[in-house]
Structure 1
Amino acid sequence: MAQLIDQVAFFEKYNIKEEDFSNTKLTWEELSNIYNDYLKKTPHLEEAAISIFRSLSKMPHVHSVRYRVKDAEHLIEKIIRKKVENPKREITITTYLTEITDLIGIRVLHLFKEEWVTIHQSIIDTWNLKEAVIAYHRAGDDKNIFEENKCIPKEHKSGYRSIHYIIESQPTKLRTYAEIQVRTIFEEAWSEIDHAVRYPYDMDNPLLSQYLLIFNRLAGSADEMGVFILSLRNHLKKIQADNAIIIQEKEEATRQLQAAIKQLKISEKEKKNLEAKLNNIQKPEIDTWASISTPEWLNSFTAFNNSLNIFNEINTAYKPVQEIGRLARIAQPNLPPILPPQKASLKPQKKK
Structure 2
Amino acid sequence: MDSLVQKVLRTGCEPTLPAIRENIRDVAGVRITTSFVSDAYWVVRMLSRQPDVEVVEVKDYIAHPKPNGYRSLHVIVRLPVFLSDRTEHVYVELQVRTIAMDFWASIEHQLYYKYDREVPVELLHELEDAARVASELDERMGRLRDELRNLSAPRGG
TM-score normalised by the chain length of structure 2 = 0.85
Higher relative contact order (CA 8 A, sep 6+): 2
Is the CA contact (8 Å cut-off) linking 1:91 and 1:99 kept in structure 2? no
The corresponding residue for 1:197 is: 111
The corresponding residue for 2:54 is: 128
The corresponding residue for 2:150 is: 235
The corresponding residue for 1:162 is: 72
The corresponding residue for 1:178 is: 92
Q: What's the secondary structure of 1:95's corresponding residue?
A: helix
The corresponding residue for 1:347 is: none
Amino acid at match of 1:188: D
Is the CA contact (8 Å cut-off) linking 2:111 and 2:119 kept in structure 1? no
Q: Does 1:76 align with 2:20?
A: no
In 2, Cα distance between the equivalents of 1:217 and 1:179? 25
Is the CA contact (8 Å cut-off) linking 2:74 and 2:93 kept in structure 1? yes
Amino acid at match of 1:90: E
Is the CA contact (8 Å cut-off) linking 1:108 and 1:182 kept in structure 2? yes
Is the CA contact (8 Å cut-off) linking 1:128 and 1:168 kept in structure 2? yes
Q: What's the secondary structure of 1:94's corresponding residue?
A: helix
The corresponding residue for 1:95 is: 19
Amino acid at match of 1:116: A
The corresponding residue for 1:117 is: 41
Amino acid at match of 2:45: Q
TM-score normalised by the chain length of structure 1 = 0.40
In 1, Cα distance between the equivalents of 2:41 and 2:2? 36
Is the CA contact (8 Å cut-off) linking 1:164 and 1:182 kept in structure 2? yes
In 1, Cα distance between the equivalents of 2:14 and 2:29? 22
Is the CA contact (8 Å cut-off) linking 1:129 and 1:166 kept in structure 2? yes
The corresponding residue for 1:207 is: 122
The corresponding residue for 1:108 is: 32
Amino acid at match of 2:42: T
- Structure (1/2) with the larger helix percentage: 1
Amino acid at match of 1:196: Q
Once the two structures are superposed, residues 269-298 of structure 1 have per-residue CA deviations (whole angstroms, 9 ceiling, x without a partner) of xxxxxxxxxxxxxxxxxxxxxxxxxxxxxx
In 1, Cα distance between the equivalents of 2:90 and 2:147? 43
Q: What's the secondary structure of 1:75's corresponding residue?
A: helix
In 2, Cα distance between the equivalents of 1:209 and 1:117? 28
The structural deviation recorded for 1:194 is 0.9
Q: What's the secondary structure of 1:161's corresponding residue?
A: coil
Change (3 A) 1:157 1:228: same
Once the two structures are superposed, residues 22-72 of structure 1 have per-residue CA deviations (whole angstroms, 9 ceiling, x without a partner) of xxxxxxxxxxxxxxxxxxxxxxxxxxxxxxxxxxxxxxxxxxxxxxxxxx2
Larger Rg: 1
Percent of aligned pairs sharing the same letter: 24
Instruction: For 1:1-352, list aligned pairs within 5 A.
Output: 72-83=1-12, 89-126=13-50, 127-130=53-56, 132-137=57-62, 143=63, 154-172=64-82, 173-199=87-113, 201-238=116-153, 241-242=154-155
In 2, Cα distance between the equivalents of 1:124 and 1:203? 38
Q: What's the secondary structure of 2:17's corresponding residue?
A: coil
